[in-house]
Amino acid sequence: MGRLQHVVDDAPSAPARVTGPGRPHPLGVRPAGDGVDVAVVAEHAERLELCLLDRDPSEPSGWREQRLVLPARTDGVHHGHVAGVRAGQRYVLRAHGPWEPARGHRYNPHKVLLDPYARVVEGTVQHTPALLDHVVVDGAPSELMSTVDSLGHGPVGVVVDEPPHPVHDRPGHPWARTVVLESHVRGLTRRLPAVPPELRGTYEGLAHPAVVDHLVRLGVTAVELLPVHASAPELHLHQRGLVNYWGYNTLSFFAPEPRYSAAVGRGEDAAAVLAEFRAMVASLHAAGLEVLLDVVHNHTCEGGLGGPTLSWRGLDNALYYRTDGGGYRDVTGTGNSLDSSQPEVVRQTLDSMRYWVQTMGVDGFRFDLAPALARVRDDERGTGGFDPDHPFLVAVRADPAFAGIKMVAEPWDIGPYGWRTGQMPVPFADWNDRYRDGVRSFWLDGSRAELESRPGPGVRDLATRLAGSDDMFGGPRRTGARTPLSGVNFLAAHDGFTLADLVSYDTKHNAANGEDNRDGHDHNLSWNHGHEGPTEDVEVTESRRRTLRALLGTLAVSTGVPMLLAGDELGRTQGGNNNGYCLDDETTWHDWSLAPWQRDLRDTTAFLLALRAQHPVFRQERFFGARPVQRLDGTRDVGWFDGDGDELSEAGWSDPWRRTLLMFLNGDAVAAEGEPGVRPTSFLVVVHGGAHGREVQLPEPPWAESYRPVWSSEQPRPEWPAGPGGVGIVPSDVLGGARLGVPARSLTLLEAVRPDARAARR
């Protein structure tokens, strides 16, 4: 197709007018002097228009439009100063240029475009043919340009004054003291009775004292929010009457999702969402809680060739996306991937991050499909590979705006060689999927294997995960700057079974998603304990709850940074749905009407996190191999024992039938490494995954003279019973070398009384 010569209609009279070239930076539409400075990246565009909108019901689109051509262009940035524009003005963009789909150029001035730097977004995406930049022929996209105007069918930007930088202090928790709670703004409070109905599911609701009190009592230090960037549902969800509940379909990297704003719900101006979000952050900070954002800088909501044209595709498709002739190279599974080899794309990501840190006050980010952000330029062989020295990663590391800001990577995408756990550079911490799978394998799949009389996972991998995953984050092939705190340990996340469903379902139950149960993971390493789903069987129910507590106990005592999925502390279920991304209903909302066992589980979780916070031996900042291996008394920083009191042999490490492991954590190892006033305490962690209770022999002196029972997953509540409880549960000290009975499939924690806490080091 040739280039379209578009004639701008006469605009209605208005005081707004272009009075000068403005500046090419900063990008976006920003109040300046008597109007706004406008700057938009559109390298291949011939002309760019700012379209000022005023509501007019007499117009078919519902808007009266004034189009103003930006007069200047610098290094691919179209810019100009427009006088007479004030905060509250609605606007969109139109781009003129070549319509050459085979070369990746898809300029179509009939399509209005959202400013990628808009601070506030108003309106929703209406999946109608008007949003397509092409004509559909025989149900498929063609290379014919659509001439249907899209004004009125998509969201618009709103001009707002830039808020001042927050003045309150950040909590600034070090990684060693960080406990992350992954949550959803809407799902966390949608059913919480203590929150007023009009605030449930909103930023203001998340800042409600009832929510803050729960988080503080639980013992988490950071709330990691699923995407809060403005997003849009995919066409296939829209057609089924569903939404993208998780929000991994970004419409704007700067604007907060307005659906989560109580102020917008009350009919206040769209800009009120900024004040509400900032107030939420301030309230959480005041309670000592950090705010991390899950961000999706790897793709956008425009999807593949058949998707809508809303912003980037119309501004500069060939620049923003990884294109392949007329199509896209996709490493995200969404139809498109942003091209992070382009400096303009890296700049957009960094600008967004700075805005959320400096203006909105957040404390860090979790990067969805992080390797997609660090792939080099595509070549004739296909998708570019991952580069740990990619300009984006180097820029994050060097930018002073991000000093002390937490960076967490989801270290995989679906492209070639996309699994990169343990390979992200500092300052990134990685979601540790090896931890998730290793712990699940031992407690769940391993228990099933034992019942089916087949070999299980043994204890080697579990020990590696308990000790900080040195194989992933340490060793000679890793950078010396990475530590055990480079791994974020988790058992469940938004994507997959909740912890309660992990012990209740063997298979996914995703029928409500409308995809014939084809979506979601099939490799869950779950175990239903003998019955699929809800049951009245007391034995099955109690067994599940014991396993839940063992899983939570394992997470609490593991070296690394723990992350909980919100609601797991309450035994939250999604009815076996392991992919609730499109369900904004009771399936994914937290049910706060707690049964007694759920309150007990909440208190158990809080107890375990308090224990972790109190004792630095659970928060190791160096790998055990980084310290002297042997002490003068013959002990080491970590000791591994079998159930008979002997140090684990190589044959024991390799035994797939082994279900018992004792880990001795020597408090002397961390006594001299900080935290003044903290008494060095050693602990023995007794892990027994067998189907039957057994006796274990406790390590004898010089490891410890005696052991004081602290907690067992056999306990419904976090206290030792006054009288005989479960098998082997005793309230008194046990001498080193003695035998202690432990229940089936249990984790038992004992404080070790050392013969000399000041044992000399070699």
Exactly one of 368, 433, 568, 584 is catalytic; name it. 368
Neighbours of 220 (CB within 10 A): 26
Mean pLDDT, rounded, for 723-729: 38
Mean pLDDT, rounded, for 514-528: 96
pLDDT, one tens digit per residue, over 727-748 is 334 557 888 889 999 999 999 9
> Distance between CA 525 and CA 307 in Å, rounded?
35
Q: pLDDT at residue 592 above 80?
A: yes
Bridging pattern class, strands 694-697 and 739-742: antiparallel
Mean pLDDT, rounded, for 614-637: 81
pLDDT, one tens digit per residue, over 402-451 is 999 999 999 999 999 999 999 999 999 999 999 999 999 999 999 999 99
Percent of the chain with pLDDT over 90: 86
Q: Helices 538-557 and 433-440, interaxial angle, to 10°?
A: 140
Residue 55: phi, psi to the nearest 5?
-65, 135
Percent of the chain with pLDDT over 70: 92
Q: pLDDT at residue 719 above 90?
A: no
Distances (CA, A) of 288 to 41, 171, 172, 222, 278: 39, 5, 9, 8, 15
pLDDT score at 167: 77
pLDDT score at 59: 96
Please give the helix or strand (H or E) that residue 500 lies within, else none.
helix 499-502
CA 4 to chain centre: 43
Mean pLDDT, rounded, for 375-394: 82
> Distance between CA 659 and CA 690 in Å, rounded?
5
pLDDT, one tens digit per residue, over 14-70 is 589 999 999 999 999 999 999 999 999 999 999 999 999 999 999 999 999 999 999
Clarify whether 368 is annotated catalytic.
Answer: yes
Virtual torsion, Cα 509, 514, 515, 519, nearest 10 deg: -50
Q: Half-sphere exposure (CA, 13 Å, Cβ side) for 610?
A: 13
Mean pLDDT, rounded, for 521-527: 96
Residue count of the chain: 762
pLDDT score at 669: 72
Nearest to 661 by CA among 732, 742, 604: 742
pLDDT score at 756: 63
Bridging pattern class, strands 406-409 and 428-432: parallel
pLDDT, one tens digit per residue, over 664-687 is 999 887 765 566 666 789 999 999
pLDDT score at 628: 54
Q: pLDDT at residue 118 above 50?
A: yes
pLDDT score at 475: 62
> Distance between CA 565 and CA 493 in Å, rounded?
5
Ordered DSSP codes for 559-624: SSEEEEETTGGGT---TT-S-GGG--STTTS------HHHHHHHHHHHHHHHHHHH-GGGS-SS-G
Q: pLDDT at residue 393 above 60?
A: yes
Q: pLDDT at residue 361 above 80?
A: yes
| C-beta of residue 632 within 8 angstroms of C-beta of residue 759 | yes
Exactly one of 122, 410, 430, 642 is catalytic; name it. 410
Tell me what the pLDDT averaged over the chain comes to.
92
| C-beta of residue 337 within 8 angstroms of C-beta of residue 372 | yes
Nearest to 324 by CA among 333, 315, 308, 335: 335
Clarify whether 43 is annotated catalytic.
Answer: no
pLDDT score at 166: 84
Q: What is the CA radius of gyration of the chain?
A: 28
pLDDT, one tens digit per residue, over 263-321 is 999 999 888 999 999 999 999 999 999 999 999 999 999 999 999 999 999 999 999 99
pLDDT score at 384: 77
Query: pLDDT grade, residue 324 (50/70/90)?
Result: confident
pLDDT score at 227: 98
